[in-house]
A and B are shown apart, each in its own frame.
Chain A
Amino acid sequence: MLSPGAGEPVVTARDLHKGYGTHLAVAGIAFDIPRGQCYGFLGPNGAGKTTTLRMMLGLTPMSGGSLSVFGLSLPGHAGAIRARVGVVPQAENLDPDFTVVENLRIYASYFGLRRRHIDARIEDLLAFAALTERRDAKTETLSGGMKRRLTIARALINEPELVVLDEPTTGLDPQARHVIWARLAELRARGTTLILTTHYMEEAERLCDQLVIMDHGHILDAGTPRALIEKHLEPEVIEIRGAPEASLALLGDETNCRLERIGASLYCYTRDSAPLLARLQQGQGMTFLHRPAGLEDVFLRLTGRELRD
């Protein structure tokens, strides 16, 4: 069998479906994930991101379509695929009966890796996760950030070519989040393919080479973060906070911008912000923020602004 070359995608999905009764969690999506890149799945809760990841691992049966990882088709080759993949789940599932180092050792045994081959690797992973000092700590005594780092280290125990991360920084404080981002960037630099789901746009913009935006089981659009922003939005945004009526009155009609009103805030998307800024500076007590358009604006534009539960 030929090993897939650098040009071949690591994951290929065509017309992929997953239904629960009459509800379609994944409603016919197609994508190719290139080797060595960080590929993001963005979407609100219930968009179908986690279901898509679980299908890639053979843990959720597909309802239709085709899906292959490393050129191996699913669900038939799930075991062989999982042997070459690392998984960082959304909910923490470290083994609470074991210490940090035991967690890594036991997890290695599930891959059938021999103790004498694994000891040196475990030391490297402890250093990578900055947990060498805490090697003998019970996992329940670790902070949220440490647990997540240990989970990432655990996912690397089998030297995976592909690491799948389901919301890797949800619930972490900013310091811990930055450490995780640095580690993931390091992994990608070593050539590991990363797939991550997130609803943090900053995370997606920083880490992802390419991403898809999903909602209600569909892929709404795909591309690089920059291309998506350019495609869907004007380059600049002025966000005016508070007193939308007064702001509208002040702006008048000739603002040469596209206006969106959300709650008490007004968003002006524009290619030329100078006239608008000049007018805002005349206004008394206006709080406004002038910034480049970002992925979050694209995301909200495509998926809508109503609350998701």
Chain B
Amino acid sequence: MDIWRLPRARRGALAIWRRNILVWRKLIAPAMVMNFGEPILYLLGLGYGLGFFIGEMADMPYLTFLASGIIASSAMTTSTFEGMYSVFTRMVPQRTYEAILATPMEIDDILAGEMIWCATKSVFSGVAILIVATLLGVVADWQALWVIPTVFLIGLCFAGPAIMMSAFASNYDFFNYYFVLVATPMFILCGVFYPVSTLPEALQSFVQVLPLTHAVALTRPLIAGQPLSEPGLHAAVLAGYAAISYYFAVVLVRRRLLV
């Protein structure tokens, strides 16, 4: 069997998604605290606190600027956590994948289901922030609803790399590398808290390669009610990351489990 062959996800992926949403439903209270609590803290604490000194940024109130960035970064974090800690738990200590692989299901289906699930959790988080932001009066108009499919795409984009890390990991501590070297730098550099244009030029071109930059470039105008610039390019970058990382995640998990 060739582990490099192209993956082919089938309808079974939905069974994995369904399994995960049934588990999530049982743990809905802590999930809600996470989904609403975090953005409320960020928006109230940073938005009002920093916003008092900053006032406006990129032609919008700082609270709007921050909320529209946090929606993208939360989609990233939510999907990343699910793709690392939860996927690793199901793959290694819990042996859930081993049980599933004794059915007609393939790794291709399992990981497609996991990625769709990670993206679904990003949507839950995005909707929670959208509600909080709307209540705080920072959402411009109905155009903001486009944020929902957008955070789904952002979730897909970050799920793949996270699952790749799970396929490499021998324990949970391994994920610290990804957070310190990948996720946190993007969180700081990709325009969540300040415009990318304020970075030194060399750094700017590097930041343009990172997916979170493109994610923020989509969510910010949608929330602020501004026209989008090059939405096709940004969506294509996110979709490209999703597709390529799905392929490598499938290859790596095949290498790990089909021995």
Which residues of chain A have a CB within 8 Å of any CB of chain B? 20, 57-61, 75, 79-80, 82-83, 85, 87, 89, 91-98, 102, 106-107, 109-112, 154-155, 158
Contacts and interface: CB of A to CB of B under 8 A. Distances in A.
A82 B104 CA distance: 5
B99 interface: yes
A112 B96 contact: no
A76 to B, nearest CB: 9
B19 A109 contact: yes
B100 A102 contact: no
B103 A98 contact: no
A82 B107 CA distance: 14
Given A60-B258, A98-B23, A110-B15, A79 B99 contact: no
Nearest to A89: B98
A123 B39 CA distance: 45
Contact of A80 (B101, B104, B257): B104
B259 A60 contact: yes
A93 B259 contact: no
B61 interface: no
Q: Point out which of B1, B26, B102 has the most chain A C-beta atoms below 10 A from its C-beta.
A: B102
A93 B23 contact: no
Contact of A110 (B12, B257, B259): B12
B99 A93 contact: yes
Interface size class of B (residues with CB under 8 A): 20 to 34
A95 B102 contact: no
Given A61-B1, A96-B94, A107 B99 contact: yes
12 contacts: A58-B1, A83-B103, A85-B102, A91-B98, A92-B95, A95-B96, A96-B94, A107-B99, A109-B15, A110-B100, A110-B104, A155-B102
A80 B99 CA distance: 17
Q: Which 5 A-B pairs have the closest CB atoms?
A: A93-B95, A87-B102, A110-B103, A93-B99, A61-B1
B26 A89 contact: no
A107 B22 contact: no
A89 B258 CA distance: 15
A112 B104 contact: yes
Interface of B: 1, 11-12, 15, 18-19, 22-23, 26, 94-96, 98-106, 257-259
A108 B106 CA distance: 15
B259 A107 contact: no
A75 B2 CA distance: 11
Contacts of A96: 94
B258 A61 contact: yes
Contacts, number: 69
Contacts of B100: 110
Contacts of A155: 102
B interface SS class:
helix
A159 to B, nearest CB: 13
A59 B100 CA distance: 11
B192 to A, nearest CB: 33
Contacts of A111: 103-104
Given A61-B258, A98-B23, A112 B102 contact: no
A153 to B, nearest CB: 13
Given A60-B258, A75-B1, A112 B15 contact: yes
Candidate in A80, A112, A154, A155 with the most chain B CB atoms within 10 angstroms: A112
Nearest to A85: B102
A80 B100 CA distance: 15
Contacts of A97: 23, 26
A89 B99 contact: yes
A3 to B, nearest CB: 19
Contact of B105 (A20, A89, A110): A110
Contacts of B1: 58, 61, 75
Contact of A82 (B11, B23, B103, B259): B103
B104 A83 contact: yes
A82 B98 CA distance: 13
Nearest to B100: A110
B226 to A, nearest CB: 43
B106 A89 contact: no
Contacts of B102: 57, 59, 82, 85, 87, 89, 155
B2 to A, nearest CB: 9
A32 to B, nearest CB: 23
Contacts of B258: 59-61
Contacts of A61: 1, 258
Contacts of B26: 97
